[in-house]
Amino acid sequence: MERVLTSVEPFKRLPASEQRRLAEAAREQRYAKGETIFREGQPSDAVWVVKTGRVHLMKFLADGKASTTCVMTAGEPFCCLPALDRKPYPVDAVAAENSVVLRIPLGAFHEAMGRSPAFTQETLCIFCDRLRQVEQKSCMVYEPAEQRLAQLLLTLSKKFGSTIPLTHQELAEIVGVTHETTTRTLNRFKRQGLIRSSRGKTTILHPEKLQALLK
């Protein structure tokens, strides 16, 4: 686990002795695809890091619909705000595929922050960046589906590269439109030669043309 922390922001900012302390306190947990890691409203008791796989942070609405607020991939910590204010988890965390995560107890995390100002500063910067991403998503809620999907594909390409391993339903849950609208819009992108798609994957062929749709 210590090897994982040496490559993950913000933990790689810690001195080696602090990384060892956190690694000793952390526990590795495995989740099958679709399994819930924690639920909205549960007391926050840990900081989580994706070691392998993919975790979606999700809100389940009263009408049964699901909205994905964040997609977390290998090497990313998740559910950041409760790590700072110790308030309950604001979302469900669900393994989108078979995943291994590290669970770092909240007490050990705060002790590390207290001993390392550089770690604290980097932690705050990362968490603020996450808030900006959520704010950007909320600002696009009234934009046409075409622009929202183009922005989403470009954003996800920063995590996955040109081939994005999400289904149309998963993309729909992130962007906040129906599965049918997502499929129809992606098929239009495909006809225009912007993307190539296969079952559960979308490959961006011309990111500059997708970017032009946002102007």
Tens digit of pLDDT for each residue in 89-109?
999 999 999 999 999 999 999
pLDDT at 196 (0 to 100): 96
List every span in the chain annotated with CATH 2.60.120.10: 2-139
Percent of the chain residues topping a pLDDT of 90: 74
Q: What is the CA radius of gyration of the chain?
A: 18
**Numbered ranges of CATH 1.10.10.10 in the chain:** 145-212
pLDDT of residue 40: 94
Q: In the CATH hierarchy, which fold is given to the domain comprising 2-139?
A: Jelly Rolls (2.60.120)
Range with lowest mean pLDDT among 17-21, 76-80, 169-173: 76-80
Instruction: Give the pLDDT confidence of 42-74 residue by residue, as tens digits.
Output: 999 999 999 999 999 999 877 778 899 899 999
What secondary structure does DSSP assign to 57-115, as a single string? EEEE-TTS-EEEEEEEETT-EE--HHHHH-PPPSSEEEESSSEEEEEEEHHHHHHHHHH
Q: In this structure, which topology does domain 145-212 adopt according to CATH?
A: Arc Repressor Mutant, subunit A (1.10.10)
